[in-house]
Chain A
Amino acid sequence: MSHPSSKPPQVGRNRGAEERPAESDPHERAASDPSAGFSRRAFIKGTGLASVAMSATVLLGDEVAKAAGQAQAGGPWVGPGPVEVTLRINGQMRRLELEPRVTLLDALRNRLDLTGAKKVCDRATCGACTIILDGKPVYSCTILAIDAAGHDILTIEGLASEDKLHPVSQAFVNNDAQQCGFCTPGFVMSCKAYLDGEPHPTYEGVQKALGGNLCRCGTYMGIRRAVLEAAEKGGRA
């Protein structure tokens, strides 16, 4: 490999969670007590992911906020104003205060500066926002953040430590399976989830597993090769 550095330039000098005192911002602080969110998770299990997400697709604007509040009647939630939620992201408990209508994608990107998942179509078509929830690839643009409580959330930032590349990411590099790269993190996550369940990928399997992600630059040939290489070299790592 001939790369001057595996670390990208620190453009934007982004506000990283680690740059802030943990308790300084109610929107963004690490939960000191992981058990604090227990009752909420139990509640969410009861209501289920799909029902609330679906209501968000048919209602608009203020109505969503109202509905979210109503849906929680009897639960600990108060809407439409900000509510507390604790999310388990890349193995860390993160406590956030956000409006019930905030999507998981917006919570990741805007509150936690986890910007690997991209916002492109914002309605579950293109896959650029793909993260892995309880081992399954999902569109984080179409899950409310409050509904993700109690689930294991893996984002691309959690695939490998800062100075390393996950084998799937490395395979994308080797096979030039990316051009502008904006869709790439979504593809990498879909690919990782696929290989976790399928150590011996087939051509047809790749077409299906990655059929929920779109690329505008047209890197599909490289992606097909990358999936096969990652499988050979241990994409399950």
Chain B
Amino acid sequence: MDYKWPAPDQRALIGKSITRLDGPWKSSGRIKYSFDVNRPGMLYGRMVLCPYAHAKVTKIDTSEAERMPGVKAVQIMFGEGKEVLWAGQEIVALAAETEDQARDAARRVHIEYQQLPFLVLDTTPDQAGAGSTKEMEEKTTGNPTSAFQQAEVTHQGRYGAQVITHCCMEPHGQVSEWNGDTLTAWASTQNVSGIGGEIGQGVGTPASKIEVITPVMGGGFGSKFAADTWGVACAQLAKTAGRPVKMLLERDHELMVAGARPSIYADVKVGAKRDGTLVAWDSHSWGTSGPAAPGAPPLPYVFRVPNSHVKHTAVLTNTGPARAWRAPNHPQVCVITMCALDDLAAKLGMDPYDFFLKNIEMTGERAKTYTDELVKAAELFEWKKKWHPRGDSGRGPIKRGVGLSIHTWGGAANLSNCAATIRPDGSAEVAMGTQDLGVGTRTVVGIVAAETLGLPLEAVTVKIGDSRYPAAGASGGSTTVGGVSSATRRASVAAVNELFAKVAPALGASPEELEAVGGQIRVKGNPTKALSWKQACAKLGTTPVTGTGRTSRDLTSAGVGGVQMAEVAVDTETGVTRVQKMLAVQDCGLIIDMKTAESQVYGALVMGVAYSLYEEKIMDQQTGHCLNPNMEFYKLAGIGDVGELEVHMMTDPANDSRGVIGLGEPPVVSPGAALSNAVANAIGVRVPYIPITPRSVLEALGTGKGGMA
């Protein structure tokens, strides 16, 4: 069978700007998210959290809580003798008739702890001490020592990116309901096909008896892959009480433990020849992922500097653990690399645009992509008109500046399965156990199926978000669009071929000679020999046909570039940075839906502004607590904070021929570096870390040279 994507001039839907299918459900407020599911007799769950960052649980007494009004089930999740590694660890779960009764009862759970020493600050390895650090592998490429000796210009600086949280609008959690020995879980998850097994392990039920339902979900960004303590607790409480239980995390709980992006900081030294050729890189990086020490981050980023030495030290802290945050590691190492290179360019007296182009071959196989994107971005942004040497920003207190950055991501397809069914009455449906995090997955599946069946989009029913459908991979790492689009394509081709076989005799042709176009099954190139879709489906008799398909590497690939430029105005009296404009130029292979693709990139820019200027999970070493587990002081960007945003998708035959590649992560990588570079260009000194707050701007101005030691 011929599965390949239709040629560009033969596409009715793919690549067009198509409105998302679930838009009306959402903007009318009618669709039920997990948090909105209300079941008859449903109880409200709540968890009792450990207030200490490091402690041993010595005694748990739930007897008073059990006697509180409305309480129907109490479950110990983290027993006596266990060691708590972060404040917010869930110790006891309970369920009561109302939310308020659950809250009252939680206060009557008595837990005793033996407090232990803790570290919650992601301080330097020296300050953290050997007991709280772990050295990761050191790596040397080429000969950095002699390269630095031969370098004509060198620069040293410290850069970094803070710990932030996911802060999904819908918190983690689920509603659980048992019917005999089978469980239904309405879960806010990025992993509909996967979490049933985890819940089942927790409650001793085979995954085959657990149905996970997630028609829509309120954001995940990498934090919602697992069933988690609360998922298991919710199912267990429902089982004990014999009633449905809703357990969605409170906002403070959500921000304390349900996901953090690791911090990464680095002391960097870079060297170049006077003509701008980059020759050497040295970095010692550190940062915290909580109590664990995952691998070293990829430094230097994108540019494969011929001579380099990198070393990474993990700082182990008693903080809520790291979870994948949209493009894990990339935004942080992008800040470290692109800001160091920008400072080096400033020292060389070069426009960073020229400096990046001068060294673009070091980006390897994507050098041409980056070159094309830089040229396009400079044209759209009027870079050459806006850029000025540092410290040349006019006389008033408001300084303007521009900055740029480049990034990369893989985005290979996850493993997904799809079933496409055509029924004798002409109805068609595609089903897969994937999920739509808000990125447009449902719409993409519909577009591919409709395109393949030659039908309008509204003629295809898209069934996703249920673990009873064919298994699909978790949505992470920009892997979903490739997985679902290729699986849907193959399943739909298989189904329509079954239909061709039934219809061919009536058209006096062989099945291979048929095509499905414009609501007809017809002989290729001969519109007069055709049956309407309905007529054709009637030939099926009484039995529907189903085609199945799975992810295909022939229809997808991996590896993208991307360039972003930012313009800011910084008030040097107040330290306030205002975003004037951001531009993203992005490639992602073949685009299925231009409208939702562009929305992904716009959204990434907004998220980027938030983590570059506002967001920070602030920890207090005195108490071990997160000081801002709420949305007043854990700040997101508002509609007035983001300036003008522009998105340009690279759609040319070369990109088209690469097949489908994921888009969720790449555009969120560069904003930190682009904005930091714009601020440096505006005020003449480097603010070493993001977020770039009024205080850090004033501090950088006060020390004169800032990060440019």
Contact = CB atoms under 8 A, between A and B. Distances in A.
Interface of A: 1-9, 11-12, 14-15, 61-62, 99, 101-102, 106, 109-110, 113, 115-123, 125-126, 128, 155-157, 159-160, 162, 165-166, 168-170, 172-174, 176-185, 188, 206-208, 210-211, 213-224
A115 B630 contact: no
A169 B28 contact: yes
Contacts of A9: 31, 215
22 contacts: A3-B458, A4-B21, A8-B30, A11-B37, A61-B104, A120-B251, A120-B631, A121-B251, A123-B630, A126-B636, A157-B30, A159-B29, A168-B27, A169-B24, A176-B598, A179-B600, A180-B168, A183-B169, A214-B631, A216-B221, A216-B636, A218-B642
B169 A120 contact: yes
B107 A223 contact: no
A221 B583 CA distance: 13
Q: Is the interface of B mostly helix, strand, loop or mixed?
A: loop
B639 A160 contact: no
Contacts of B595: 176
Question: Most chain-B CB neighbours within 10 Å: which of A155, A173, A220?
Answer: A220
A180 B216 contact: yes
A2 B170 contact: no
Interface string B419-452: 0000000000000000001111000001000000
Contact of A2 (B104, B456, B630): B456
A218 B104 CA distance: 36
B18 interface: yes
Interface string B28-55: 1111110111111010100000000000
Contacts of B103: 61
A61 B100 CA distance: 9
B631 A176 contact: no
A232 to B, nearest CB: 17
The 10 A-B pairs of least Cβ separation, nearest first, read A116-B29, A218-B606, A180-B438, A181-B26, A182-B218, A218-B603, A115-B36, A12-B37, A156-B29, A207-B640
Contacts of A62: 104
Contacts of B437: 180
Contact of B24 (A3, A121, A125, A223): A3
A178 B630 contact: no
B596 interface: yes
A159 B30 CA distance: 11
A101 to B, nearest CB: 6
A27 B20 CA distance: 38
Given A61-B104, A123-B630, A218-B602, A14 B32 contact: yes
B461 A4 contact: yes
Contacts of B42: 15
B109 interface: no
Size category of the binding interface on chain B: 35 or more
A181 B218 contact: yes
A180 B217 contact: yes
A15 B640 contact: no
Nearest to A98: B98
Given A4-B460, A215-B606, A216-B168, A181 B38 contact: no
A86 to B, nearest CB: 20
Given A120-B631, A180-B170, A217-B603, 6 more contacts: A115-B36, A180-B169, A180-B219, A182-B218, A216-B221, A222-B602
A110 B640 contact: no
A165 B28 contact: yes
Contact of A11 (B18, B32, B606, B632): B32
B540 interface: no
B24 A216 contact: no
B632 A123 contact: yes
A174 to B, nearest CB: 7
A185 B27 contact: yes
B457 A4 contact: yes
A182 B170 contact: yes
Interface in B153-176: 167-171, 175
A216 B167 contact: yes
A121 B630 contact: yes
Contacts, number: 247
B250 interface: yes
Given A102-B100, A109-B36, A110-B99, A220 B170 contact: no
Question: Most chain-A CB neighbours within 10 Å: which of B439, B456, B603?
Answer: B603
B38 A14 contact: yes
Given A2-B457, A179-B599, A172 B27 contact: yes
B607 interface: yes
Nearest to B600: A179
Contacts of A119: 35
Nearest to B177: A12
Nearest to B645: A221
Given A4-B457, A213-B639, A217-B603, A176 B170 contact: no
A76 to B, nearest CB: 21
B24 A122 contact: no
Contacts of A6: 24-25, 28
B605 interface: yes
Given A11-B213, A218-B602, A211 B638 contact: yes
Contacts of A106: 99
B458 A61 contact: no
Contacts of B217: 180
A208 B641 CA distance: 11
Given A166-B28, A222-B602, A216 B100 contact: no
B383 interface: no
Contacts of A169: 24, 27-28
A105 B223 CA distance: 26
A122 to B, nearest CB: 6
A120 B630 CA distance: 10
A175 B614 CA distance: 27
Contacts of B168: 180, 182, 216
B469 interface: no
B37 to A, nearest CB: 4
Nearest to A19: B40
Interface in B491-542: none
B604 interface: yes
A3 B251 contact: no
A14 B37 contact: yes
A206 B439 CA distance: 25
Contacts of A181: 22, 25-27, 31, 216, 218, 438
Contacts of B22: 8, 181
Nearest to B171: A120
Nearest to A182: B218
Contacts of A8: 22, 25, 30-32, 215
Contact of B19 (A118, A121, A174, A206): A174
A180 B607 CA distance: 14
Nearest to B169: A182
B516 to A, nearest CB: 18
A39 B367 CA distance: 75
A159 B598 CA distance: 29
B631 A125 contact: yes
B652 to A, nearest CB: 24
Question: Most chain-A CB neighbours within 10 Å: which of B27, B44, B215?
Answer: B27
A233 B27 CA distance: 16
A169 B607 CA distance: 24
B462 interface: yes
Contact of B18 (A2, A157, A210): A2
Contacts of A218: 602-607, 637, 642
Given A11-B37, A208-B640, A217 B24 contact: no
Contact of B438 (A121, A168, A179, A208): A179
B391 interface: no
A12 B605 contact: no
B186 interface: yes
Contacts of A178: 20, 23, 26-27, 438
Nearest to A60: B107
